């Protein structure tokens, strides 16, 4: 199997079927009756929403609860896993409005060579972010393992929700809006891991700017804005890049799409980093970008701009299952992404270090 998330076929066979069987058994033996689980097993979501059985009961403290998870490896792994988990909730629930208890469980694996001060700094940064969002760090497990070569983190967030903004799903003729720029998380990871090497080729300010792209990881502001503006669906892009996000958005909704390659925003820093390491920026980890479907994409882009959020209208939802990337007069079919370009970077870096 390839590095990264399981491909779509394997995930359906070996994960979704197991989860569905488990849910069937749970509903058969449990009287709580969570029969309206909203696609919690989706490959691109990693977020499940459980409404309460009786949402009209005033004694119930919340309408339901949501559980989301995410993983990250490499530089700033803990904060990135936490931010990705929050983004999964924001894209499914139309933002993040914490009125009652929200907790996070963190698991961190580190190599033996990592110094204690680095662990403390990572967790202190995580704590500051969690405090700002009102999320309680319920459990943090840290293990030093001999087979781990870089920091690897997993985050699971559980929280109650109130007045969930239920989105009906993407439909044909909906516009596709993308926020910020492609490859932000992957660019930052690579720039932070190869700063000195990149500075031998590019001006230091370009490399430093690329390394700072982690500041753009949260999609909560645009998710809240899009939900209030009538978005039909949202997808937090991440592994597999923007192409992976587009595929997962269409596959989850059972629709096709056409996206214009020239309309997809990309920063010059990402172009430079990808050219240096011969990577495809459209398949590079895209944490920080949110894909939104809605009826009037142009109006949403203007609304987002009014809130200081960069966005662009990049395509349209279509009938059928054809997912097409258009570049000038040429069309190509989008396919499920096999892995993420950051793994190609790690492979090349490993080979280079051996020589």
Q: Hey, how many other C-beta atoms are within 10 angstroms of the C-beta on 113?
A: 8
Average pLDDT over residues 81-103: 81
Residue 70 CB coordination number (10 Å) = 24
pLDDT band, very low/low/confident/very high, at 98 (cuts 50, 70, 90): low
Of the chain, the percentage scoring pLDDT greater than 90 comes to: 65
E strand residue ranges, 191-342:
233-236, 256-260, 290-294, 311-318, 323-327, 330-333
Which pTM does this prediction carry? 0.86
> In this predicted structure, what is the pLDDT of residue 41?
44
Q: Residues with Cβ < 8 Å from 133, sequence gap 6 or more?
A: 86, 96, 98, 102
**Would the pLDDT of 329 be above 80?**
yes
| Residue 122: closest CA among 72, 173, 183, 187 | 72
The Cα 51–Cα 322 span in angstroms is: 33
CATH of domain 34-161: 3.30.1330.10
The whole-chain average pLDDT of the chain stands at 85
Residue 236 and residue 88 in contact, taking contact as beta carbons nearer than 8 Å = yes
Residue 337, pLDDT score: 80
Q: What's the rounded mean pLDDT across residues 226-244?
A: 95
Q: Once rounded to an integer, what is the mean pLDDT over residues 98-103?
A: 70
How much of the chain, in percent, has pLDDT values that exceed 70? 79
pLDDT digits (tens, 9 = 90+) for 282-297: 999 999 999 999 999 9
Highest mean pLDDT among 90-94, 135-139, 166-170: 135-139
Residue range(s) occupied by CATH 3.90.650.10 in the chain:
175-354
175-354 has which fold? Answer: Phosphoribosyl-aminoimidazole Synthetase; Chain A, domain 2 (3.90.650)
CA–CA separation, 19 and 40 (whole Å): 9
Instruction: Provide the pLDDT for residue 8.
Output: 64
Does 35 score more than 50 pLDDT?
no
The yes-or-no verdict on residue 38 having pLDDT over 60 is no
Higher pLDDT: 223 or 101? It is: 223
Where b means 16+ CB within 10 Å and e means fewer, 270-285 reads bebbbeebebebbbbb
Residue 33, pLDDT score:
44
- Location of each CATH 3.30.1330.10 domain in the chain: 34-161
């Amino acid at each position: 199997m390839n590095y990264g998330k399981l491909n779509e076929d394997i995930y359906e066979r070996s994960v979704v079927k197991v989860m569905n069987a488990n849910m069937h058994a749970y509903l058969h033996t449990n009287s709580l009756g969570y029969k309206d689980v909203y696609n919690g097993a989706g490959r691109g979501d990693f977020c499940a929403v459980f409404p309460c059985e009786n949402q009209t009961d005033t004694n119930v403290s919340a309408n339901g609860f949501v559980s989301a998870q995410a993983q990250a490896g490499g530089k700033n792994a803990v904060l990135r896993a936490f931010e990705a988990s929050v983004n999964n909730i924001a894209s499914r629930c139309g933002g993040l409005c914490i009125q009652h208890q929200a907790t996070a469980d963190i698991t961190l694996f580190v190599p033996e060579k990592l110094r204690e001060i680095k662990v403390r700094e990572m967790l202190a940064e995580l704590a500051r972010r969690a405090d700002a969002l009102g999320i309680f760090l319920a459990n943090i497990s840290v293990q030093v393992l001999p087979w781990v070569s870089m920091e690897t983190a997993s985050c699971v967030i559980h929280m109650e929700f109130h007045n969930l903004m239920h989105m009906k799903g993407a439909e044909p003729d909906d516009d596709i809006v993308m926020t910020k720029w492609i490859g932000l998380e992957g660019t930052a990871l690579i720039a932070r891991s190869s700063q000195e090497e990149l500075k031998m080729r590019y001006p230091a300010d370009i490399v430093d700017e690329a390394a700072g792209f982690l500041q753009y990881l949260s999609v909560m502001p645009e998710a809240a804005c899009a939900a209030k503006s009538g978005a039909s669906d949202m997808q937090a892009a991440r592994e597999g890049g923007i192409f992976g996000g587009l595929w997962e958005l269409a596959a989850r909704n059972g629709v096709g799409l056409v996206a214009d390659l020239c309309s997809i925003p990309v920063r010059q820093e990402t172009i430079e980093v990808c050219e240096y390491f011969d990577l495809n920026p459209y398949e590079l980890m895209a944490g920080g970008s949110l894909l939104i479907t809605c009826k009037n994409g142009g109006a949403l882009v203007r609304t987002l701009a009014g809130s200081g959020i960069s966005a662009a209208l990049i395509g349209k939802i279509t009938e059928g299952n054809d997912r097409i990337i258009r570049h000038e007069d040429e069309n190509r079919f989008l396919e499920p992404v096999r892995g993420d370009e950051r793994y190609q970077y790690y492979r090349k870096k490993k080979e280079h270090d051996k020589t």
